[in-house]
Amino acid sequence: MIDWLLQFFHRVTSIFRRGKLDHDLDAELAAHLELAIEENLQSGLSPEEARRQALIHFGGKQQAIEQHRDARGLPGLEVFFQDLRYAIRALFKNPGFTIAVVITLALGIAVNATMFSLVSAFLLRRPVVHEPDRVVVITSINPARGFLPDANPVSAPNYFAWREANDVFSDISAADEYRTVSLTAAQGKPQALPSAAVSANYFDVLGVAAYLGRTFSEGEDQPGRDHVVILSHELWQRRFGSSPALIDSTIRLNRENYVVIGVMPASFRLLGFTPQVWTPLTLTVADRATSARKDHDLHVFARLKPGLTLQQARLEISNLARRSEQDFPETEKGWSAAVRTLPDFLVYNFGIRNGLALMMTAVGFVLMMACANVAGLLLARATGRQKELGIRIALGAGRLRIIRQLLTEGLLNALIGGGVALVLAYWGINFVATKMTFNEAISAVPLTLDRNVLLFVLGVSLFSAVLCSLAPALRASRTDINAVLKDESRAASAGRSHSRLRTVLVTGEIALAMFLLIGTGLLLRGLYVIEHQNLGFQPEHLLTAGVTLDSARYKDAAQQASFVREIIPRLQHIPGADTVAVTSDLPATGPGSVRVQIRGEPDLPTNQARNTRDAVVSADYFSAAEIPVLRGRTFTEMDSATSSPVVVVNQEFVHRQLRDQEPLGKQIRLNVTGPTPKWSEIVGVVTNVKNYSEAPDEDPEVYEPFLQRPVSSFSIMIRTKADPNGMASDLRSAIEQADADLALLHVMSMPAVIDLQKGGDVLFSRMLAIFALLALVFAGIGIYGLIAYSVGQRTHEIGIRVALGAGSKQVLSMVLFEGLKMTAIGAAIGLALAVPLPKVFAAMFTGLLFSEPRVYFVVPLAIIAVSMLATYIPARRAASVDPTIALRNS
Amino acid sequence: MTAAKLDLLQGTLDLMVLQTLTAMGPLHGYGIARRIEQVSGDKVFLNQGTIYASLVRLQQRGWISSAWGVSSNNRKAKFYSITKKGRKQLSEDAVNWQRLASVMSRVLGMQEGGEQ
């Protein structure tokens, strides 16, 4: 091994000592011959014969020298350097060509690198926990459909049951990841922060230690000892100036004192979860009760026992889930459980995989088209270089040697392209990063040109080097030297086979462009329809703000109700405020679903129980949101805790749950949290509001009056005629007057809320549109390049045609037809490929509609227009060929 | 180029060179080549020039060393001598070769249709 290394070292160094080594060898060989001649002379040969014999015995001198060089150096590497030198010369000899190739490749690679930085950031980054693949996340599977139905949080009773009964986990913990706390620092205003309540062993299960201080210890999730808090690194920096003295000091959370025991490292971040503080999760006897089974809010993290597999854990948990289902059919019917490894779960739960797969496919196509264009350019140039290659072959270059040299040139092109692409990608990634701020979870993930992206660019560059230069290289290596060296004239048939291959490439490009454009068209149209759908309420001129009432000051429903009673008139006094309301869920932001019973109708079997969406709203909600009332009345201040319970339902509820019977006067009961509710009378019917702003679905919905069932977490809505954002500071100070320690979350206009909810759809669809346009441009350049080249090649032929009487119109249409033929074939292939797209998209993006016949009309037209334009320019040149010049030129 | 002469198997020349240097002490390239020809009874087909590729290879592996010196008839020539590492390598390779040779002769000695 050491000998081998030593030899390798010598071989490498000998490349750089070539001159001295050759000189040495020369001297040695000269000495050899002299010694041989001398010996031959001594044995009595004539001087001439002595020399002849010596030379014969020595063999070929040049061969000996070559053998020596091969033995001492790295012949492969030397040939590579030779090819590289040659390739660099060729590069500078034809700068226009080089620039075209480099720019095309750089664009293709840069869009791929930019998109790949997203893949790297969201899919490839492993959570910084101990052995992440041994940590699993247990989720509940909701029998009802909905967004990621198999990634529902788990109810507390199930967590308890599974924690106690399982035999597969060494440790199991729970986290309520989506809480909000109000932090009041020593000075300054209260601030609402996303927080997580976690069981005391949560950080131990994950295997992460605190950056400063410690994590929770056993028993700190018991009432009385639970006023301890761990801060995120970011919050510690931002709010507390990175002061190490903060540990063991007290901060105010939700009006209570908490001791800061630790700060987590900056690297501790689970994709999709953005808590700034962690507090202990205290579970009480009430959380073990059957009624608590309705509340799914715990993410269960567990560590597999050593030696056990994910499969075994799945089996165990699904058995336990089945047991829960048998024991509590009332609440658990149809529910089951899923187990995923932590990295899997985070990516799945974040729901970005489909979007990224789509984007990567699109940019992959763009790269293929870039390569096809470059391959076309190289093929065209290979024709021009046939004579050069012919001479090289005639001088003894083998086929492989020619392929190798052309591949080296391709490699050089691709690496320069890759280098330029890195610069473009750096810019592209920064651009995307500034746009990827549509929610906290997204902006928490840094986008960088990291090692993965660098490796990806290198890989893609090498791949495109092979992709674009292999076909031209193979073809060139088959150069028939007799034909090439003999052939002095530029006959029309010279580039025949070259242009056939190019025709195939360009046709493929058109097909890809067609496919991409149709896909993009369908997506954009689907998004446009959704973006412009009638939501069922008027989002413009609405200001919203989130409120979470803490349990320290607002202990019960009565206090929550009186807070709302107090602030509504205050808010009404804000100049410009027309109508003020509070609601548990802002319209079209996905209100929760509950089971509903209708008085006088038999209960359906539990697995097909009636469900309805449910929102708790204050009296003026419907007028503030401008949701039209169809029948009966809406709520008033009189619908309070002391009056008889009433509800308002939407049209869909009347249609689906009451089968269009007279709704007014009917009594229903919602299976909501808390003590068994009373029957409520339907007093009004309103029009439907979309469940989500970004989907077309409308479910049955029930509205309850806030004063009859107050909730601690709700949103304020203020209708105005002016710019809603102008009232934000008035809103803040009005709340401050009511409660100086209460923090508002997300003070923003309703359209901003909707944008936030749409997330990356808009950004992604715009990027997709850019890629599709790039594809169209590449296809256009491809056609242009091919036709222009073929017209150049056929100048002679066209000259003859014109001389024989062909008019310029005939020549024009001849060339145009050539382009049209390619376009038609390519477009047909692309259309055929695009046929299954609507189905694929519908499966990937639930809620969007992809039936837009106009796309299949507009896109082919656009492609034909571009290709006709690209063909027309060279065709004009062909039509204006002057036969006397064309014929003389050859 | 008589067909009767043996072509050298890959690696054999290196071994011959090492053995020659062990037997003869420091020698120049011509001397090594001549010696191999003589010992083989002119049965080996050797372009003398090929010896130099073998020499540089052995030298890079550290099995032989070289120095410019003066030949018996006062000519400047490069002299090669075997190193300690080279001797070790030679003894290992020689054993291997002898084993291989005996196996080959047994295999080739098999009779058609019989055990031996």
pLDDT, tens only, A25-68: 888 888 888 888 888 888 888 889 888 888 888 888 888 888 88
How many alpha carbons fall within 13 Å on the CB side of residue A503?
Answer: 14
Contact B30, A32 (CB under 8 A): yes
Is A161's pLDDT higher than 70? yes
> Are the beta carbons of B43 and B96 closer than 8 angstroms?
no
Whole-angstrom distance, CA of residue A448 vs CA of residue A208:
24
**pLDDT at B4 exceeding the cut of 70:** no
Q: Average pLDDT, stretch A375-404?
A: 79
The answer to whether residue A5 scores a pLDDT higher than 90 is no
pLDDT value at residue A607: 59
| Residues A258 and A227 sit within 8 Å (Cβ to Cβ) | yes
Q: Compute CA A408 distance to the chain's CA centroid, rounded to the nearest angstrom.
A: 34
Name the residue of chain A whose CA is nearest to B29's CA: A32
| CB contacts, 8 Å: A67 with chain B | 49-50, 52-53
Beta strands in A185-249 (DSSP E): 191-198, 212-213, 228-231
Task: Compute the radius of gyration of chain B from its Cα atoms.
Answer: 17
Q: How confident is the model at residue A294 (pLDDT cuts 50, 70, 90)?
A: confident
H-run or E-run covering A843: helix A837-844
Q: Chain A: nearest CA to B10, how far in angstroms?
A: 13
Residue A187 pLDDT class (50, 70, 90 cuts): low
Give the residue from B8, B3, B4 showing the smallest Cα distance to B97: B8
Tally C-beta pairs within 8 A across A and B: 84
> Hey, what are A644's tokens?
């008889």
Report the pLDDT value the prediction gives residue A28, as an integer from 0 to 100.
86
d(CA A653, CA A649): 6
Cβ contacts of A13 on chain B, cutoff 8 Å: none
pLDDT for residue A652 is more than 90: yes
pLDDT recorded at residue B3: 39
Give me the count of residues in chain B: 116
pLDDT-derived band of residue A341, with 50, 70 and 90 as boundaries? very high
* Contact (CB<8Å) A31/B34: no
Predicted local confidence at residue A65, as pLDDT: 85
Distance CA A336, CA A322 (A): 7
pLDDT at A292: 85
Chain B residue numbers touching A31 (CB-CB < 8 A): 28, 30, 71, 75-78
What local confidence, expressed as pLDDT, does residue A206 receive? 95
Percent of chain A whose predicted confidence (pLDDT) is above 70: 95
CB within 8 Å: A32 and B62: no
The pLDDT tens digits of the residues spanning A877-888 come to 888 878 787 777
Q: How confident is the model at residue A819 (pLDDT cuts 50, 70, 90)?
A: confident
Lowest mean pLDDT across A418-422, A617-621, B97-101: B97-101
ipTM: 0.82
pLDDT at A112: 94
Cα A800 to Cα A330: distance, rounded to the nearest angstrom: 90
Decide if B88 touches A, using CB distance below 8 A: no
Closest CA to A844 of A435, A530, A523, A436: A523
SS3 content of chain B, % helix, strand, coil (to 5): 55, 15, 30
Share above pLDDT 90 across residues of chain A, in percent, rounded to a whole number: 39
Question: Are A6 and B53 inside 8 Å of each other by CB?
Answer: no
Q: Is the pLDDT of residue A267 over 70?
A: yes
Q: Cα angle vertex A577, ends A576, A579, to 5°?
A: 145
Range in A106-115, A608-617, A707-716 the model is least confident about: A608-617
Of A123 and A889, the structure prediction assigns the larger pLDDT to A123
Q: Is the pLDDT of residue A496 over 60?
A: no
pLDDT value at position A887?
74
Closest partner residue to A3 (CB to CB) among B62, B71, B75 is: B62
Segment of A157-161, A183-187, B32-36 carrying the highest mean pLDDT: A157-161
- Residue A530 has a pLDDT of 82
Subunit contact A38:B53, Cβ cutoff 8 A:
no
CA-CA distance, A756 to A313, in Å (whole number)? 37
pLDDT grade, residue A666 (50/70/90)?
very high
Q: Residue A181: phi, psi to the nearest 5?
A: -120, 155
Q: Is the pLDDT of residue A549 over 70?
A: yes
pLDDT of residue A308: 92
The alpha-carbon gap from B104 to the nearest alpha carbon of chain A, in Å, equals 29
Q: Does B52 touch chain A (CB under 8 A)?
A: yes
Residue B10 has what pLDDT?
59
Contact A6 B62 (CB under 8 A): yes
Q: A58 and B49: CB-CB below 8 Å?
A: yes
Res. A676 pLDDT band, cuts 50 70 90: low
Q: For position A178, what pLDDT does the model report?
A: 87
pLDDT band, residue A828 (cuts 50/70/90): very high
CA distance A114 to A117: 5
Instruction: Give the C-alpha separation, A279 to A231, whole Å.
Output: 9
CB contact under 8 A, A24 and B78: yes
DSSP string, A801-834: HHHTT--HHHHHHHHHHHHHHHHHHHHHHHHHHH
Question: pTM here?
Answer: 0.76
Give which of A5, A21, A295 is closest to A156, Cα–Cα: A295
pLDDT tens across A573-583, in order? 999 999 999 99
Q: 3-class SS at A282?
A: coil
With contacts defined as CB-CB under 8 Å, which chain B residues touch A58?
47-49
Which burial class, exposed, middle or buried, applies to B75 when counting CB atoms under 10 A from its CB (0-12, 13-18, 19+)?
middle
Interval A743-757: pLDDT, tens: 888 899 999 898 888
On whether any CB of chain B is under 8 Å from the CB of A57, the answer is: yes
Calpha distance A422→B51 (Å, rounded): 50
Render pLDDT for A450-470 as a digit per residue (tens, 0 to 9). Answer: 899 999 999 999 988 888 888
Q: Give me the residue from A27, A63, A72 closest to B49, CB to CB.
A: A63
pLDDT at A234: 92
Judged against a pLDDT cut of 60, whether residue B104 lies above it is answered with yes
Q: Is A71 on the interface with B (CB under 8 A)?
A: yes
Which tokens sit at A617? Answer: 């709203």
pLDDT in tens, A407-430: 888 888 889 999 999 999 999 999
CATH node for B12-108: 1.10.10.10
- Residue A628 dihedral angles phi and psi, to the nearest 5°: -65, 140
| Domain segments of chain B as ranges | 12-108
**CA–CA distance, A484 with A499 (Å, rounded to integer):** 17
Minimal CA separation from A215 to chain B, in Å:
59
- Convert the pLDDT of each residue in A763-795 to its tens digit: 888 888 888 888 888 888 888 888 888 888 778
Distance, in Å, from the CA atom of A214 to the CA atom of A260, rounded to the nearest integer, reads 10
B49 with A36: Cβ contact below 8 A: no
Q: Where are the beta strands (DSSP E) in A593-679?
A: 593-598, 611-617, 629-632, 646-650, 667-670
Confidence of residue A605 (pLDDT cuts 50, 70, 90): low
DSSP structural state of residue B111? P
Tell me, yes or no, if A11 comes closer than 8 A to chain B by beta carbon.
Answer: yes
Mean pLDDT (chain A, rounded): 87
Predicted local distance difference test score (pLDDT) of residue A169: 94
pLDDT for res A536: 93
What are residue A587's phi and psi, to 5 degrees?
-60, 145
SS3 at position A631: strand
Q: What sections of A351-398 are H helices per DSSP?
A: 353-384, 386-394
- Give A-chain residues touching B59 at CB under 8 angstroms: 10
Single-letter residue type at B89: Q
The CA distance from A866 to A563, in Å, is 64
Query: Which of A24, A61, A72 is facing B49, going by the closest CB pair?
Result: A61
Range scoring the smallest mean pLDDT among A333-337, A492-496, A589-593: A492-496
Which residues lie below 8 Å from residue A555, measured CB to CB, with a gap of 6+?
A: none
A18 touching B, CB under 8 A?
no
Q: Which residues does chain B have within 8 Å of residue A42's beta carbon, measured at their own beta carbons?
A: none
Q: Are A681 and A666 in contact (CB under 8 A)?
A: yes
CB-based contact (8 Å) between B71 and chain A?
yes
Amino acid at position A703, single letter: Y
